[in-house]
Structures are given as structure tokens and as C-alpha cells.
Structure 1
Amino acid sequence: MSVLSDDPPREPRATSAPEAVTEAENEQAVEEEEEEEPAFPEPETLEYSGVGDSVVEIDLHDDARIATLSHGGASNFTVRTLTSGGDNSDMLANVIGAYEGRVLYNAGEREEAAALEISADGSWEITLEPLSTAVSWGEDEDEFVGAGDEVVQLAWTPEGITALSMTHDGAGNFAIWSYTSTDRDLLVNEIGAYEGQVSLAAGTLLLAVTANGNWTFTR
């Protein structure tokens, strides 16, 4: 089972005796084979907003997504996902004051997310988006620069030994999770400013960043 997708394996197609095909049918078959499937599924984007403490039921789903969060208050802002049984699942945010960020959730074997539990003293907005909306690190770009919580999709494929240099100038937690289609790895988990180099697993698709300052990735 994929870490980023819970789709079941496809059933094998039934086979039959070969039949004569026309040249046009051959060309059509070649074109269909050349069409690439999207790297990530495209579920419907879900949008929610409110003020203060709330519990919001959402369309039941267990696929990995990106949550874009914002808060306009001055006190604690927390967002958790809840299962259909009311149990806590993912902590999407736990900050003080105004906040804007994007976080990855459901990227593992978990129960389906059925609701969001929000603690806030101001207005808030939450958008649940498909993984394809992650910001892209271009194939021709050696460096990627960002700030705060973010989800980065690699437009290039790490192979062999790939060294990744990282910096962070914030005072809070700096954590990086990397995701392949089958596994995840905690690359960095430090408090405050950071500068170092880590190895990136072959086939990495996404980097989920937790930060409260500016950060850079260099390959």
C-alpha cells in the first residue's frame, strides 16, 4: 500500500484470443499508452471557515491531502482531524497568534478523517486540497527557498545518493519529512536556526516542512 494513496491494487484484465486490428486502432493504442497518469489523485477541494472554537464535519476521506490554514486571532490556534469515532488523528496546527501555512495530512495508514476540531480566538479558514497543489521544485532549479509550513513536490526524481543541504533561520521547530510512494523519513527535527546536509531517498515525491522562519533546500 502506498504511503500517499490508499487505492487498492488493480485487478488483472481478462485475456482473450488475439484479434486483427486496424492501423488506426494501433495508433490509438500507442497514444493511450503514452498518456501519463497524474502523480497524485485529484479529489474535490473542500473549503471551511468560521470564528472561534468549532467542530466541523467534513466529507469522509482517508486519502492524503494538503491543508491550507489561516488564523486571524492573537491566542492559541490548533487544528486536529477526528475519525468517525471521535478520536484524534492528525495535529495540523498548534501555534500562537496569526498564522498562515500548508501542511500534509493522512499520509499514512490512518482511519478516515471525518471532522476538524478547531481551537481559535479569531476568524479562521481551512482548505483541504489534492496533493497536486503542492508547490513545485522545478527540475532545473538547484535551490528552493520558502518560509513557514509548506509542502513541496519534487519535479525531479532523486536517484542513487542525493545530498540535500538545508538552512533555517527561525526560533521554533524545524522538521522535514520526506515521502516516497511507499515510505516516509524524518530528515531533520531541530529547534531554532539550522544548517546541515542530509541524504534524500531515491524516488522521493514530497517534502513536508514545519518551520517558523525562512528556509532553503539546495541539491
Structure 2
Amino acid sequence: MSKGAKIALVGGAGVLVLVLVAGTVVALSLGQGSDETVASAADDEDRDEDDAQGDDDAGGENDGAPSAPSDGESEVFEGSGDELVELDPPHADPQILTVEGNGDGMVSVTVVSEDGDEVGHASSLRGEEGGTRTIYNHRGYDHEITGLDVRTSNDSWTLTIEPLDSLDPWTDPDEPLEGSGRDVVLIDWDTSGVELEMEHDGTSNFIVWGGNPDDGVTDLLANEIGEVDMGEQLSDGTTLLEIDADGDWTLTPA
């Protein structure tokens, strides 16, 4: 996988400037060599060349993956086979992860903390077209996430990481919300006293979590197999729904 690198760029060129003013010659000497910084003045011209380029590599090298998302930005990682995707810098806030594979094989992603420990399973993909979207590092977790461990039987895969506020919210409780497979839904209306009707036409797991990432509180609203037609009360202040499904689903506030 190609990995982004931060490279400090320092330009330099040998220059000799002679200025004649009222018979007085002032010489300004600039350090020479493509890797040197500019010397400060003539009285510093005896400075050792190694000191002159002391800040040349200040930016350093980053041999990890592109930076984790921040300020509404997203990051895309592409690879093939099993791989540990390093996040530099790490992050401690919730993130949205979309996983895509190029075939019908399995792509499984596990979250890795600063201690190198696996602290949660982020997502699995089994050949679904369009990929799957999940959330990780929430429910009150306080881990600093340094990597995503990819295990796959697909030839290649793509991971997209986005901040939570990048999602388009569900804004109208009078309109049912329809979707398919795994997804994350932001709620932008008052859930006080609202029962959520849930329908699912798949044959495997249908799991729905509701909660608020700000306080870490979560409610298990559904944990069923196969077709589902049920309702569950939403807690006051619910702003987020996590859905794990293998079929089409419909959510209707009642």
C-alpha cells in the first residue's frame, strides 16, 4: 500500500550580493549547498555548515499511513491481503469506517490501540456491493487508536475513515428511514417519548444500538435473527443508531 509521507522542503542556493552605498561595501554572505539553510549575516559566515542545516530535516519522515481524519476531512486507504493500516497521528474520537472489497470474499477490520491491543471489531464485509459503514471508538471508549488491522480473502480492499459529523442526519421523524446492511444513522430530532418501529427482511442478524456518543450511554434496541417487525422505546437524548443487518430495513418513529 502506498503511504503518505511528510517531507520537509528546504530550498537553498549560493548567492553573493555586493551592495555599494556611499563608498561603503556591505557583504551579505548566504550559506551554499542545496541542503543548507540561509546564514543569518556576515558575522555568522564562519558558522559550521552542519549547524547551518540543523533544521533541514525538522519535518521528519512519516512512514505510516495518511493522517486520521479531522475537521471534516476523510482519509482513504487502499491495499491488498492482510495488512495493519497505521494511523498517524492517532485519534481518540469516534470515527466512521466504510469498508469495500473487490469481490465476494471476506474483509474484517479490527481496531488497534496505542498499546498494540485489539480493542474492538470495527467491521466485516462479505461481498456486499457498495461496502459497509460502521462506527468505532464510541460507547464511552477512551482508547487512542493507532491502527486498523485488516484480514481478508479478497484480492484488494478500500477503507474510508470519516469524522462522525460527516454523516447526513435523519432530520424528519415523520418520514421513515430505509436502508440496507450495516450502517450508522445520526438523529437530528427530539427522541423523547418516541418508540422506534423496526422492520428487517434479511435471514441473518438484525442488531440495532441506540445512544449518544457524548455520554457513552447505549441501548440495545434489537437483537434478532431473520425477518423482524418490532418496536422499542428510544431513550431521551438518543442521537445515534448503529445498525447491523444482512437485508433491507425500515425505521419508523411512532
Query: Does the alignment reach a TM-score above 0.5?
Result: yes
- Alignment equivalent of 1:145, drawn from 155, 174, 178: 178
One-letter amino acid of the counterpart of residue 189, structure 1: N
In structure 2, relative to structure 1, the CA distance for the partners of 1:139 and 1:42 (3 Å cut) is farther
Q: Aligned partners of 1:89, 1:134: CA distance in 2, in Å?
A: 24
1:141-178 CA distances to partner (integer Å, 9 max, x unpaired)? 4311111111111121212x211100001112111111
Counterpart residue number, 1:101:
132
1:88 aligns with 2:118: yes
Question: Given that residues 134 and 182 in structure 2 are in contact (C-alpha distance below 8 angstroms), is that contact kept between their aligned partners in structure 1?
Answer: yes
- TM-score normalised by length of structure 2: 0.66
Question: Given that residues 174 and 189 in structure 1 are in contact (C-alpha distance below 8 angstroms), is that contact kept between their aligned partners in structure 2?
Answer: yes
- Alignment equivalent of 1:116, drawn from 148, 170, 180: 148
Name structure 1 gaps, 5 residues minimum. Answer: 1-40
1:64 to partner: Cα distance: 0.6
One-letter amino acid of the counterpart of residue 64, structure 1: P
Instruction: Give the total of aligned pairs.
Output: 178
Counterpart residue number, 1:12:
none
- Alignment equivalent of 2:105, drawn from 57, 62, 75: 75
1:176 aligns with 2:208: yes
1:70-105 CA distances to partner (integer Å, 9 max, x unpaired)? 111333221111112221112122343345111011
1:111 to partner: Cα distance: 1.6
1:43 to partner: Cα distance: 5.1
1:132 aligns with 2:162: no
Counterpart residue number, 2:79:
50
Of structures 1 and 2, the larger Rg is shown by 2
Question: Given that residues 100 and 125 in structure 2 are in contact (C-alpha distance below 8 angstroms), is that contact kept between their aligned partners in structure 1?
Answer: no
Q: Aligned partners of 1:179, 1:122: CA distance in 2, in Å?
A: 36
- Of 93-102 and 116-125, more deviation after overlay is shown by 93-102
The SS at the match of 1:178 is: strand
1:122 to partner: Cα distance: 2.0
- Alignment equivalent of 1:62, drawn from 75, 88, 92: 92
The SS at the match of 1:47 is: strand
1:109-150 CA distances to partner (integer Å, 9 max, x unpaired)? 242110111112221111110111223212254311111111
Q: Aligned partners of 2:110, 2:72: CA distance in 1, in Å?
A: 20
The SS at the match of 1:132 is: helix
Counterpart residue number, 2:227:
193
One-letter amino acid of the counterpart of residue 186, structure 1: L
One-letter amino acid of the counterpart of residue 109, structure 1: Y
Counterpart residue number, 2:190:
157
Counterpart residue number, 2:10:
none
One-letter amino acid of the counterpart of residue 132, structure 2: G
Identity %: 33
Q: Aligned partners of 2:197, 2:173: CA distance in 1, in Å?
A: 17
Question: Given that residues 125 and 132 in structure 2 are in contact (C-alpha distance below 8 angstroms), is that contact kept between their aligned partners in structure 1?
Answer: no
One-letter amino acid of the counterpart of residue 120, structure 2: D
